[in-house]
Amino acid sequence: MKDVLKTLSNELENRDCFFVFPSEVVASFWRKKALSLTRRKAVRSERFQSWDTFKENVFSRKREEKPVNRRIRLLFTASLLEKNNPHNPIFSYLINPEYADSSKAFLKHISSILPSLGTPSVREILEGNSSALNLEEGQRRDLLLILNEYRKFLKENSLFEPSYEKPDLNRLEGKYYIFFPDVIEDFLEFQSEIKNCPFIKVIETGEAPLAKEQKTLSSGGEKGRGGITFFGNVKKEIRWVVNKLRGLLDGGVRPQQIAITVSEEEVLNLLEAQCSLYGIPLDIRKGRSLTQYPAGRLFPSLSACHASDFSMSALKNLLLNRHLPWKNRQPGEELILFGIKYFCSEGAQWWIHNLRRMGEKKIEVYFRKLSERINGLFKAGDFKELKKEVDKFLSAFLDTDKWDEKSLRILQTSLDLLNELISDNEYTGEQKIADPFGLWLKAIEERIYVEKPDTAGIPVYGYRVSAGVYPDYHFITGATHQFTTVTVDRFPFFREDQKKGTTMERSDFSDDFLRLYSLSGKNLYFTCSGEMSSGAQLPPGYFVSRDMVFPYRDEDNLYGKDLFATEERIWLEYEGGKRSEENNPCFSPVQKEGFLNIEKTAFRQKDFDLTRETIVEDHLNEIILSRLSEEEGNLTISHSAFELFRSCPFAYLLSTALEVEEQEWNVFYYDPRIVGQLTHIILRELFNKIKELHGFFLPGSLEEYMETLEQVTSECFTEWERKKPFFISPIWTDVRKKTMEALNVFLKAEKEAFPDWKVFALEKTISLMDEEEKLKLTGRIDRISERDGQKALIDYKKRNPCKRDVLGKELSPEEQKNHEPPTGFLFEIPPQTLQLPFYIYISEARAERIHRASYYGVDDGKYVHIFDDTGSGGWADRDKIDTLVSYTREKIYEMSSKIRNGDYRTLAQNDSCESCSFRRICRNKFMLRLK
């Protein structure tokens, strides 16, 4: 940088002297820096210009004409592609005529090649000797067609493309210094004119001095220039950078003396997150596409809704986006909940069909209005009409006054782009554009937006634009080989093999940039990591070949000084209220805030923790008990409540007494519960028919039952489709087919397991009252069959439970005998399900002796008999089933007693936690390690 400093010191007083830098960021940096080099209080801003501004000045020969811009190029390209219709395609090489109706996809590519298509060197190839670059005839014809149409368009509209003009250096007044031409991608094209111009002096980037002493430093890059520090992963790297920044700021360095250059988005996001934790202000000058900001995502979301015909996922992205200032969020959420329940994944007509079927008038009106407004955006014939449609959408659904200033600025920039398109299109004679919204969206995506910082902070730049600045401290982070590779292909419309060996070959600026960055700061910190979310990374070849990569070894124990690494110690030293925010001056603002919050919440004396202690307040127990009891005051326990309590009493309390439910926002295409319900209904109806036909299941009538099954299945599906949720057509058709097949298998299994059994009861609700205990047990049995006065309980399942889940594993008689204190039934592994023993208990307590109990697994296609007195065998004999029933009884009364005593304690390590829907609100999974 010596040359820059020397030139500026010498020439700043010369008012006719101008300084040209590769980017506006660097020009602006030196504009400010120059003042500190001299005693001047001010300097004319145009004396420090970027290369692009310099070109505009020397190329704008035709002052009366207007330079073309990106939007106008898009407009021209869109109208040109309109002409490439499938009946009469105008392109034969660039766009395959077979895909002419998809020409829109080439909008971005063709508009991006326009600036280089008419440069003198390319023009010469296209218009001159056809053998140059071995161009194919179709290729040359298509490129010439674009070029000629574009030039005609420019001429008709008094426009000019700056890169098509030869520089008019004679127009220059004064003396010009051009710095760092090695990183200016199109400098070579003008090199000969510039070299011959006596008013211009070119200052090349010097060689970065190699700091051999660097190798002796434990954490390379520590003192200076030349080396790169290599971390294991990007999180460590950013933490190191942030700790360094904190050290500098704490040491009195001003944020403006520091600069950070980030190579890519992941590094920037991590840096932002870490700096906000430490309260380090950043001034992010790395631009992002408008659509990368939450507010800027509105228009792509609308486009996705239209393109997917209002698919569930597109509507969810739009309507559940809490960043958008909805006038009324509720109807949108109701629409999504309806869609989730009714599997609305098949487009607008499917939504309407389902909403009508279910009589949801209000939601239907909302959906129609929403889809009409969104479709209106895409029906707009021109930009003016589009603007009206955008206004209509915004005023119908959003209240932009609720938006914060940042979001409003993003929205306003997007709307400004639409206004600019309107005036550009007027200027160019109202081009016919088939898809104005699509073109506007393209312009929004291409617009790079830099946020205005709220506070003065450390400037953060993107890689490339900051090459050539010279702050006191410069961190170049995420500088991996991949992210510091800079190749420029200015002529993408020629193939690589065609450009080989010519000046048009893709140019590699990677080393030039790294060399310049190696000079861009008094103290430089190059860092990169071996692991990033994009995969394994390597340090740049530039440093590897110079033997200047220094793996990070935590010898200076920087993490030991890290506020967050030492936080654990601070918590352990916490002495109930004595350690307050003032006692911890080393806290970052976020930590202070967190500490104050935890004092009010987790550290506050808890009222109660029902996973660990019982409820002692009688009035609370009474309230809970009343919620769990029927009107007469009897505690009601169903089989499902019983099983839930067994797996976790606290989950039972939340679900049954407090009726806490998790709102499901995920979209599914299939729900096994619906298939299960339908199967139960079909089996009920089938046995009703069998009861009507014969009263018994007659094995000889299997054929007849199969026909009956088909008829019943069809009726049940039709009835279900009238008012119940069902899946999108291919899945639903498949469910229907598979259900039919599965139930045909069932009939064969039934013939083997229950021949000549009478259908005694279907879906029977049974109950048992214990007046003394004020306890009522209830259950619903899928089927009770009877033969020769012997009864069988049958429960249909998706899959049969295994023997161990039904019978458990008992303690040996010896262990039982020696158990202290002696108790009823002890299992080494208790049964997982006690459903049939629960029903047997109720039935037999009502003097209804049960002789057989079976599960039928629809997916397994077979019965399992958990016990069988009728002689066919089963998993358990009568004694064993009596043991299970007694065990069930014991557990029921234990549950009743615990509920009455307010005891919902659960194990800290509960197997059910893994699949529990209360995980997010249950404190049992949190462990606070306090002194």
CA distance 694 to 16: 111
Binding flag, residue 904, ligand SF4 (CB under 6 A) = no
Binding flag, residue 439, ligand SF4 (CB under 6 A) = no
Look at the block and give the residue holding tokens 């005694």: 760
Among the listed ranges 220-228, 272-280, 731-739, 908-916, the one in contact with ligand SF4 (CB under 6 A) is 908-916
Binding mask 601-620 for ligand SF4 (x = CB under 6 A): ----------x---------
Q: Taking the complex as a whole, how short is the minimal distance between the CB of residue 607 and ligand SF4, in angstroms?
A: 18
Binding flag, residue 682, ligand SF4 (CB under 6 A) = no
Give the residue, chosen from 912, 927, 929, 931, that forms a contact with ligand SF4 under the rule CB under 6 A: 912
Q: Taking the complex as a whole, how short is the minimal distance between the CB of residue 303 and ligand SF4, in angstroms?
A: 41
Among the listed ranges 513-521, 689-697, 866-874, 918-926, the one in contact with ligand SF4 (CB under 6 A) is 918-926
Half-sphere exposure of 55 (CA within 13 A, CB side): 21
DSSP secondary structure, 250-319, as one string: HTT--GGGEEEEESSHHHHHHHHHHHHHHT--EEE---EEGGGSTGGGHHHHHHHHHHTTS-HHHHHHHH
Q: Taking the complex as a whole, how short is the minimal distance between the CB of residue 921 and ligand SF4, in angstroms?
A: 8
Q: Report the candidate in 546, 553, 483 with the shortest Cα–Cα distance to residue 518.
A: 546
Q: Taking the complex as a whole, how short is the minimal distance between the CB of residue 906 and ligand SF4, in angstroms?
A: 5
Among the listed ranges 271-279, 602-610, 620-628, 914-922, the one in contact with ligand SF4 (CB under 6 A) is 914-922
Position 580, amino acid: S
Binding mask 709-738 for ligand SF4 (x = CB under 6 A): ------------------------------
Binding flag, residue 34, ligand SF4 (CB under 6 A) = no
CA distance 146 to 118: 10
Q: Taking the complex as a whole, how short is the minimal distance between the CB of residue 644 and ligand SF4, in angstroms?
A: 9
Q: For residues 847 and 928, which CB has a smaller minimum distance to ligand SF4 in the complex? A: 928
CA distance 610 to 660: 15
Q: For residues 243 and 906, which CB has a smaller minimum distance to ligand SF4 in the complex? A: 906
Binding flag, residue 363, ligand SF4 (CB under 6 A) = no
Q: For residues 498 and 910, which CB has a smaller minimum distance to ligand SF4 in the complex? A: 910
Q: Contacts with ligand SF4 in 633-672 (CB under 6 A)?
A: 648, 650-651
Beta carbons within 8 Å of 182's beta carbon, 6+ residues apart: 204, 205, 509, 512, 515, 516
Q: Taking the complex as a whole, how short is the minimal distance between the CB of residue 916 and ligand SF4, in angstroms?
A: 3
Q: For residues 461 and 650, which CB has a smaller minimum distance to ligand SF4 in the complex? A: 650
Among the listed ranges 465-473, 560-568, 885-893, 905-913, the one in contact with ligand SF4 (CB under 6 A) is 905-913
Q: Taking the complex as a whole, how short is the minimal distance between the CB of residue 910 and ligand SF4, in angstroms?
A: 4
DSSP state of 696: B
What are the structure tokens assigned to 378, written together? 């895409």
SS (H, E, C) 860-911: CCEEEEEEECCCCCCCECHHHHHHHHHHHHHHHHHHHHHHHCCCCCCCCCCH
Q: For residues 135 and 653, which CB has a smaller minimum distance to ligand SF4 in the complex? A: 653
Q: Taking the complex as a whole, how short is the minimal distance between the CB of residue 738 and ligand SF4, in angstroms?
A: 33
Q: Report the candidate in 549, 472, 557, 476 with the shortest Cα–Cα distance to residue 514.
A: 476
Q: Taking the complex as a whole, how short is the minimal distance between the CB of residue 875 and ligand SF4, in angstroms?
A: 28
Binding flag, residue 681, ligand SF4 (CB under 6 A) = no
Look at the block and give the residue holding tokens 């207007």: 66
Q: Taking the complex as a whole, how short is the minimal distance between the CB of residue 660 and ligand SF4, in angstroms?
A: 10
Whether the upstream peptide bond of residue 539 has omega within 30° of 0, thus cis, is: no
Q: For residues 214 and 655, which CB has a smaller minimum distance to ligand SF4 in the complex? A: 655
Among the listed ranges 490-498, 519-527, 586-594, 916-924, the one in contact with ligand SF4 (CB under 6 A) is 916-924
Burial class (CB in 10 A: 0-12, 13-18, 19+), 239: buried
Determine contact, residues 782/794, Cβ cutoff 8 Å.
yes
Q: Report the candidate in 872, 848, 846, 839 with the shortest Cα–Cα distance to residue 790.
A: 848
Q: For residues 727 and 904, which CB has a smaller minimum distance to ligand SF4 in the complex? A: 904
Among the listed ranges 25-33, 332-340, 417-425, 911-919, the one in contact with ligand SF4 (CB under 6 A) is 911-919
Q: For residues 421 and 916, which CB has a smaller minimum distance to ligand SF4 in the complex? A: 916
CA distance 455 to 463: 23
Binding flag, residue 211, ligand SF4 (CB under 6 A) = no
CA distance 755 to 758: 9
Among the listed ranges 54-62, 183-191, 429-437, 921-929, the one in contact with ligand SF4 (CB under 6 A) is 921-929
CA distances from 264 to 69, 268, 287, 340, 534 (A): 27, 6, 11, 37, 11
Give the residue, chosen from 147, 248, 743, 916, that forms a contact with ligand SF4 under the rule CB under 6 A: 916
Binding flag, residue 117, ligand SF4 (CB under 6 A) = no
Position 831, amino acid: P
Q: For residues 448 and 602, which CB has a smaller minimum distance to ligand SF4 in the complex? A: 602
Helix or strand or coil: residue 744?
helix
Q: For residues 345 and 924, which CB has a smaller minimum distance to ligand SF4 in the complex? A: 924
CA distance 3 to 7: 6
Q: For residues 836 and 916, which CB has a smaller minimum distance to ligand SF4 in the complex? A: 916
Crossing angle of helices 878-900 and 639-647, rounded to 10°: 80
Size of the site for ligand SF4 (CB under 6 A): 14
CA distance 462 to 483: 11
SS (H, E, C) 190-257: HHHHHHHCCCEEEECCCCCCCCHHHHHCCCCCCCCCCCEEEECCHHHHHHHHHHHHHHHHHCCCCHHH
Among the listed ranges 217-225, 463-471, 562-570, 915-923, the one in contact with ligand SF4 (CB under 6 A) is 915-923
Binding flag, residue 910, ligand SF4 (CB under 6 A) = yes
Q: Report the candidate in 72, 92, 93, 91 with the shortest Cα–Cα distance to residue 83.
A: 91
Q: Report the candidate in 394, 344, 337 with the shortest Cα–Cα distance to residue 669.
A: 344
Q: Taking the complex as a whole, how short is the minimal distance between the CB of residue 919 and ligand SF4, in angstroms?
A: 5
Neighbours of 538 (CB within 10 A): 13
Give the residue, chosen from 24, 918, 926, 928, that forms a contact with ligand SF4 under the rule CB under 6 A: 918
Q: Taking the complex as a whole, how short is the minimal distance between the CB of residue 642 and ligand SF4, in angstroms?
A: 16
Determine contact, residues 856/862, Cβ cutoff 8 Å.
yes
Q: Taking the complex as a whole, how short is the minimal distance between the CB of residue 602 and ligand SF4, in angstroms?
A: 17
Binding flag, residue 278, ligand SF4 (CB under 6 A) = no
Q: For residues 900 and 919, which CB has a smaller minimum distance to ligand SF4 in the complex? A: 919
Beta carbons within 8 Å of 894's beta carbon, 6+ residues apart: none
CA distance 133 to 501: 10
Binding flag, residue 922, ligand SF4 (CB under 6 A) = yes
Alpha-carbon 798 to chain mean position: 34
Among the listed ranges 234-242, 859-867, 884-892, 907-915, the one in contact with ligand SF4 (CB under 6 A) is 907-915
Binding flag, residue 147, ligand SF4 (CB under 6 A) = no
Q: Taking the complex as a whole, how short is the minimal distance between the CB of residue 915 and ligand SF4, in angstroms?
A: 8
Q: Taking the complex as a whole, how short is the minimal distance between the CB of residue 909 and ligand SF4, in angstroms?
A: 9
What are the structure tokens assigned to 476, written together? 């170049």
Binding flag, residue 324, ligand SF4 (CB under 6 A) = no
Give the residue, chosen from 223, 341, 684, 919, that forms a contact with ligand SF4 under the rule CB under 6 A: 919
* Angle, CA 31 vertex, CA 26 and CA 32 arms, to 5°: 105
Residues of this chain that interact with ligand SF4 (CB under 6 A) are 611, 648, 650-651, 906, 910, 912-913, 916, 918-919, 922, 924-925
